[in-house]
C-alpha cells in the first residue's frame, strides 16, 4: 500500500486536493445460497483487456468509464494491462495477471468445490476514474445487467 507521503510532489498535491466523493452507506447484501452452489465473477479495476479488444483510452479527461467483458475460459497470461495511473507499481500485474484478475485462483476454488462455478465472463474496468459520474450512471448498471444475465451470485471486486 502506497502512503501519500511516499508519492512524488505532483501526485501528493493531486491526492490532497482531489474532491473525494462521499457516498451514503448502504446495507450489505446477504447470500442466500451456500457458497459451494454459487456462480462467481470477478470485477477488476486493473484495466485489463483481452486479445482483440480495444485498449482503454488514457486520454479521456476524468478517465475511461467503459468496461470490457473478459471470457471465463481465457488464459489470463493473454490479457494486456492498460491502467493509466502511475501511482502504483505495475510490476506485480506485469509478472502475473492473476494479481489483477485472479481467474486461475477462482478456477482452483471451483475445482476444489469451494464455489459452485466460475462465471462465463468477468468484468474489467479502468481504475483511476477521477470523474466517476458517467461510470456510476452508465457503466455500473450495464455491468449489473451483464452479471445478472449470466446468473452470477457473487461478484468479487478486485480493486487496483
106 close to 158: Cβ distance less than 8 angstroms? no
3-state secondary structure of 40: strand
Indicate the DSSP class of residue 5: G
Each residue's pLDDT expressed in tens, for the chain with a length of 160 residues: 567 787 778 877 877 777 776 777 888 778 789 999 999 999 999 999 999 999 999 888 888 899 999 999 999 999 989 887 776 777 878 889 999 999 999 999 999 999 999 999 999 999 888 788 899 999 999 999 999 999 999 999 998 8
Q: Which three cell numbers stand for residue 129?
A: 476514474
pLDDT score for 1: 58
CA distance 50 to 122: 11
CA distance 84 to 69: 19
User: What is the domain partition of the chain in residue ranges?
Assistant: 33-158
Q: Considering the entire predicted model, what is its pTM? A: 0.84
pLDDT score for 18: 73
**H helix or E strand, kind and range, residue 70:** strand 67-71
Amino acid at each position: 500500500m502506497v502512503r501519500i507521503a511516499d508519492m512524488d510532489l505532483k501526485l501528493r498535491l493531486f491526492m490532497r486536493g482531489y474532491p473525494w466523493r462521499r457516498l451514503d452507506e448502504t446495507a450489505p447484501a446477504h447470500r442466500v445460497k451456500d457458497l459451494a452452489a454459487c456462480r462467481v465473477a470477478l470485477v477488476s479495476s486493473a484495466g485489463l483487456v483481452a486479445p482483440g479488444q480495444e485498449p482503454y483510452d488514457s486520454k479521456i479527461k476524468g478517465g475511461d468509464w467503459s468496461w470490457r467483458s473478459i471470457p471465463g475460459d481465457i488464459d489470463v497470461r493473454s490479457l494486456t494491462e492498460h491502467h493509466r495511473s502511475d501511482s502504483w507499481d505495475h510490476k506485480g500485474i506485469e509478472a502475473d495477471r492473476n494479481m489483477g484478475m485472479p481467474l486461475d485462483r477462482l478456477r482452483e476454488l471451483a475445482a476444489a468445490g469451494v464455489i459452485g462455478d466460475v462465471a462465463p465472463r468477468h468484468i474489467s474496468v479502468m481504475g483511476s476514474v477521477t470523474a466517476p459520474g458517467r461510470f456510476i450512471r452508465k457503466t455500473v448498471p450495464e455491468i449489473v445487467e451483464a452479471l445478472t444475465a449470466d446468473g452470477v451470485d457473487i461478484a468479487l471486486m478486485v480493486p487496483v
